A and B are shown apart, each in its own frame.
Chain A
Amino acid sequence: AQSVAQPEDQVNVAEGNPLTVKCTYSVSGNPYLFWYVQYPNRGLQFLLKYITGDNLVKGSYGFEAEFNKSQTSFHLKKPSALVSDSALYFCAVVNDYKLSFGAGTTVTVRA
């Protein structure tokens, strides 16, 4: 079965610093990978996806992710974090026509 892992439960960064949220995948074949974000008291929102093509994917709110086949990773990045980026981030992979999600990473951006 296809799966993803998020090795960090929490990430803390200062506002203005780069933000990285890690995700590794375990799949057979070519993976379809996603990032979703859950802001406090709000529903999950799509950020970006990788299906095929350019390894660097750009998404909403200034986020991007790099697909790295050799390292089986799909890390989410933002060059300069904002306090408003504080949220719960989920990596996900398509698995038998549905999404399988990682355990999530809580990001806290301090002012």
Chain B
Amino acid sequence: GAGVSQSPSNKVTEKGKDVELRCDPISGHTALYWYRQSLGQGLEFLIYFQGNSAPDKSGLPSDRFSAERTGGSVSTLTIQRTQQEDSAVYLCASSLVTGGWEKLFFGSGTQLSVL
């Protein structure tokens, strides 16, 4: 596609519910990253994928968070039993290759609100 697409753009959920956030990277980009941006905070790294594998999951805050990527394309970030502290903007980015030195193309994010 023309850019990185994320859906939904906004998600309101109740505490304890599960949510799935989707990311469609730019076609042909092998690297895909998930970040979280909380109000007044910087960008917090969550996980990155090289193809379908995730070499670095070190930023996932707890075992309630998981992510997968299929077909070297679409990625889903799942949060189980959501808590209010999970409220944030979840950003996805892709780049042509992994390594970090290629520029990242970011999606517009999913604003998650946990009531």
Contacts and interface: CB of A to CB of B under 8 A. Distances in A.
B48 A97 contact: yes
Contacts of A27: none
A107 B60 CA distance: 30
Given A96-B56, A97-B48, A98-B33, A90 B100 contact: no
A91 to B, nearest CB: 10
Given A90-B43, A101-B42, A104-B42, A44 B106 contact: yes
B95 to A, nearest CB: 10
A97 B42 contact: no
- Size class of B's contact patch? 20 to 34
Interface residues of A, number: 22
A31 B100 CA distance: 11
B100 A97 contact: yes
A101 B56 contact: no
A43 B43 contact: no
A20 interface: no
Nearest to B109: A43
A49 B102 CA distance: 9
Interface string A71-111: 00000000000000000001000111111111110000000
Nearest to B42: A103
A104 to B, nearest CB: 5
Interface string A35-61: 010000011111001010000000000
A51 B101 contact: yes
Interface of B: 4, 33, 35, 41-43, 45, 48, 55-56, 91, 93, 98-101, 103-109
Interface of A: 32, 34, 36, 42-46, 49, 51, 90, 94-104
